């Protein structure tokens, strides 16, 4: 669907949304109509209901903010490209020749999240990309650095309230 730019309450960036059964039917109906004319009372009501549905069930952000500092960026790239690397923050700091506290504080300051949370999000996003490309749940979980498929399924269920099989 296309919404007029600047429509109140819509995010400025692309993102993922949950589509409830009601929202699905509203989208199908509006597509069948072709253009919702705000001068028509039913169209205006449908538009408002669609917007209300979009806001009613916020989907967690899947964005993974990257640090701007070149050294921290290299750490982030290493972590996201080698999810099986289970080094502690101290181990990563040693690998990159940086102090542990500097690494931890820098990550929070530049990304808004702790390094551990950032690593979990990177693994999760890697698994989602693999699943979206058609990988089996077990393979996606292992390639993304999860210790077991059940650990990935639990993380997936926590975020999306469904299993990967049902989601995809």
Domains of the chain: 1-59 (no CATH), 70-167 (1.10.10.60)
Instruction: Give the model confidence (pLDDT) of 28-74 as tens digits.
Output: 999 999 888 889 999 999 998 988 888 765 555 667 889 999 999 99
Query: In which residue ranges of the chain is pLDDT below 70?
Result: 6-16, 56-62
Identify the pLDDT of residue 106: 94
Using the 8-state DSSP alphabet, how is residue 58 labeled?
Answer: P
Alpha-carbon distance 137 to 143, whole Å? 10
Stated as kind and residue range, the H or E segment containing 32 is: helix 21-33
- Whole-structure pTM over 0.75, yes or no? no
Identify the pLDDT of residue 97: 94
Q: Are 76 and 67 in contact, with CB atoms under 8 Å apart?
A: yes
Identify the pLDDT of residue 59: 58
Q: For residue 15, give the nearest of 66, 57, 59 by alpha carbon.
A: 59
Share of the chain above pLDDT 70, in %: 89
Identify the pLDDT of residue 14: 61
């Amino acid at each position: 669907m296309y919404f007029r730019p600047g429509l109140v309450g819509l995010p400025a960036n692309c993102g993922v949304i949950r589509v409830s059964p009601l929202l699905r039917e509203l989208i199908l109906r509006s597509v069948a109509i072709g253009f919702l004319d705000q001068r028509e009372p039913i169209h205006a009501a449908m538009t408002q209901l669609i917007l209300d549905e979009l806001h009613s069930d916020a989907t967690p952000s899947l964005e993974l903010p990257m640090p701007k500092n070149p050294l921290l960026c290299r750490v982030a790239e290493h972590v996201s490209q080698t999810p099986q690397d289970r080094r502690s923050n101290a181990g990563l700091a040693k690998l990159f020749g940086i102090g542990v506290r500097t690494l931890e504080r820098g990550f929070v300051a530049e990304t808004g999240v702790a390094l551990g949370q950032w690593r979990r999000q990177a693994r999760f996003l890697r698994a989602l990309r693999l699943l979206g490309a058609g990988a089996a749940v077990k393979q996606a979980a292992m390639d993304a650095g999860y210790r077991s498929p059940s650990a990935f399924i639990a993380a997936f269920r926590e975020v999306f309230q469904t299993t990967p099989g049902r989601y995809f």
